[in-house]
Structure 1
Amino acid sequence: MQANKDAQEWMNNQAMVDSRAGVSSARGTYRNRRNEWRRPDTGWIKCNVDGSFTNSNIPSRAGWVIRDSRGVYQGAGQGIGQVVRNPLESELQAIIMAMQNCWSHGYKKIIIEGDCQKAIHLLNRIGLCFHSYNWIREALWWKQKFESVEFQWINREGNRVADKLAKSDILNHNTFCFHHYVPNTITMLLHNDYVISN
């Protein structure tokens, strides 16, 4: 029964997005429907983020990577969050962790890009999900701390770097790690994104 409701909610949201796609939105929030990662505009930072959910007994994991308008790596993070109930909450928690990290580095204009379409829709105020209300509210509270934040969806293929970080172990069993230098596990994925985005 719940699966049917979720499916219907997704179809309703998708229909709303499709109807809006014909109308120009602010900087084309839904324009990037391709599989390839794209560089942000000059003056912006793009933070690709992903959450990793195993089950509701194990803390959720997050991974994110920050790149500038030239496609140059600015850092990456991994974190272990709280125990959450489902994959959507895992994605929202990961987005919040990534936003907090971007804010701590002083970035003003950021694009948060993830492959969970439902999370991106909810943060763009398309549709409702009362079960995740507190996560959405916290993400929108963090949004206010920046000059400008955009939430964009990208196909899973274009979000492989963040996905790899979310699923990789954190060094020394820490709960958080910021990588100032490129971790070996994502070197080739970053290189591929850089080449494709040229």
Structure 2
Amino acid sequence: MQDLPFWLLWRLWKSRNMLIFQQKEILWRGLLRYTREDAKEWKQLDSKIEEIHTRRRQSHQLPECLHWKRTMMGWVKCNTNGAYNPLLNQSSAGWVIRDANGSYKGSAQARGRVNNDALESELQAILMALQHCWSLGYRKVIIESDCQKAIDIINKKRLHFAYCNWRREIQWWAAKFEDVKFQWTRRSANKVADLLAKQIEDGVAFSFHYYVPQYLSVLLHDDHLHSS
């Protein structure tokens, strides 16, 4: 190791101080052993720091991760979002379904029941979207949300008794499918569902859009361009 002499000098200095101030003597064999251990530990730490910096550089070099991505062949991806108004104590949901080619298969908006917070609205949106996908005949579905807590609760990575019943009902519906995956995505990749949840008209309980709504066309086009 190139830096071994440095650590040897460091250990000599420490052993000198221990001898003067604590009257403790370290034999030369022990001194060499400590020197090697110090050098090895420093090299391992330096490697970990370099690995962290490398990952950060790679994450900045992958802007495509910020955009919506297509799913696998034979699957559909359903992006969901729940909106919550604490002043009116109202919640709404929006979701959009696209296939492996990135083609639009439909979107929907719905009013939810009275919820206690934004997280409950997100879980409710996921449940509504899952039920709707089942009614449309899809059996291999990826449910994607930008709410990390909601996804973690469903995937049992986070325990929260206040939302236990939501998780149970979602898992009950998920068991009816051939396969379902619940995954998190960035908010920048979930713009369509976010707009659907917030754009719902007053007095509308549920609305399914077989054709693309005009206000979604730009966002859907942008997702499609970056999804390949």
2:86 pairs with 55, 68, 72, which one?
55
Q: How many residues align?
A: 165
Shift of 1:134: 0.9
Higher helix share: 2
Residue in 2 aligned with 1:77? 108
Letter paired with 1:145: K
Q: Secondary structure at the match of 2:191?
A: helix
What residue ranges of structure 2 are gaps of 5+ in the alignment? 1-63
TM value normalised by structure 1: 0.81
Closer, same or farther in 2 for the Cα pair 1:56/1:101, shift >3 Å? farther
Measured in 2, the distance between the counterparts of 1:169 and 1:112 equals 21
Which amino acid in structure 2 is aligned with residue 95 of structure 1? Answer: I
TM-score normalised by L of structure 2: 0.70
- Write the mapping of 1:40-189 to structure 2, written as runs, cut at 5 A: 40-55=71-86, 57-170=88-201, 173-189=203-219
Task: Tell me the distance in 2 between the aligned counterparts of 1:187 and 1:126.
Answer: 35
Per-residue deviation, residues 64-122 of structure 1 (Å, max 9, x unmatched): 00000000000000000111011110000000000011000000000000000010111
Q: Distance in 2 between matches of 1:143 and 1:93?
A: 14
Aligned to 2:15: none
Query: CA offsets per residue over residues 128-187 of structure 1, 9 Å max, x none?
Result: 0101111111111110111100001000000000000000023x7320000000011111
Bigger relative contact order (CA 8 A; separation at least 6): 1
Q: Which amino acid aligns with 1:196?
A: H
In structure 1, stretches of 5+ residues that fail to align are 1-32
CA distance in 2, matches of 1:56, 1:84: 12
Contact between 2:89 and 2:116, CA under 8 Å: does it hold in 1? no
Q: In structure 2, how many angstroms separate the alpha carbons of the residues matched to 1:93 and 1:181?
A: 24
Distance 1:180 1:63 in 2: 14
Q: Which has the larger radius of gyration?
A: 2
Residue of structure 2 equivalent to 1:194? 224
Please say if residues 56 and 86 of structure 1, whose CA atoms lie closer than 8 Å, have aligned partners that are also in contact: no
Equivalent pair of 1:38/1:197 in contact (CA under 8 Å): yes
Once the two structures are TM-superposed, the CA of residue 57 in structure 1 deviates from its matched residue by 4.3
Percentage of matched positions with identical amino acids = 50
